[in-house]
Amino acid sequence: MARPRSDSIDVATPERVLVAARQVFGDHGFERARLADIARLAGIRRPSLLYHFPTKEALYAAVVERTFARLGAMLADAMGVGGGFEARLEAMARGVARAFAEEPADARLVVRELMEPDSLGRAILLAEVVPLLDGVVTWIEDQGGSALRPGLQLRGVVMQIVSDVLLQNVAGELRDPLWGALDPDRTWATARALLLG
């Protein structure tokens, strides 16, 4: 593997690689994504990409970890919003809708890996998603108390809300005819109806 010349290393190169990788992994999935395509999209050569991320698995892990770190930070901020449980739940629902609307490649990446049962990327994705989901479900259970609809299968309801947001963001030109324009208000209304009744 060739090391890039020291005068050609740009501080922003890892950032460009991560942005390009998110796009390519989202479009093609882990298995079909090519490092050469990621490097080209980032404006570098493949050896330069390998200097920053030595394997495809390492690059994918960095992309997925970054995606869920960003989502986790947004959820943590929402949980800390002033007001009661409902205000914080609203901030979470709207935040998830906005996060995937602002970064639709993240939604494509998640959905693609959920559909690819034999992908190496699936294990990485699940290692990031399950703890985040566990945290959200536990928080809702702990904070919601009697405000929650009785008898809820909470994990399933949370996944239904998130799945709706993901599908809206991967539907492309079918989104508006099926759902209408992206709308965090609608996501919150759905979450409120499912969780609070």
- Is-contact 144 195, C-beta < 8 A? yes
Residue 145 lies in a domain: yes
Share of the chain above pLDDT 70, in %: 94
CATH, residue 135: 1.10.357
Query: In this predicted structure, what is the pLDDT of residue 149?
Result: 94
Q: Which domain holds residue 172?
A: 60-195
Query: In this predicted structure, what is the pLDDT of residue 7?
Result: 47
Look at the chain and report how many structural domains it folds into.
1
Query: Using one digit for the tens of pLDDT, what is the confidence trace for 57-69?
Result: 999 999 988 888 8
Residue 134: count of CB within 10 angstroms of its CB: 11
Query: In this predicted structure, what is the pLDDT of residue 157?
Result: 96
Residue 67 lies in a domain: yes
Residue 123 lies in a domain: yes
148-174 in b/e form (b: 16+ CB < 10 A) is beeebebeebbeebbebbbebbbbeee
Residue 172 lies in a domain: yes
Query: Please, which pLDDT band fits residue 1 given cuts at 50, 70 and 90?
Result: very low
Nearest Cα to Cα of residue 150 among 193, 197, 192, 191: 197
Residue 187: count of CB within 10 angstroms of its CB: 25
For residue 180, the SS3 value is coil
Query: Using one digit for the tens of pLDDT, what is the confidence trace for 10-28?
Result: 447 999 999 999 999 988 8
Interatomic CA distance for residues 91 and 98, integer angstroms: 10
Residue 9 lies in a domain: no
Residue 18 lies in a domain: no
Residue 52 lies in a domain: no
Query: Using one digit for the tens of pLDDT, what is the confidence trace for 111-141?
Result: 887 887 777 777 877 888 899 899 999 999 9
Residue 20 lies in a domain: no
Helix (H) or strand (E) holding 18: helix 13-32
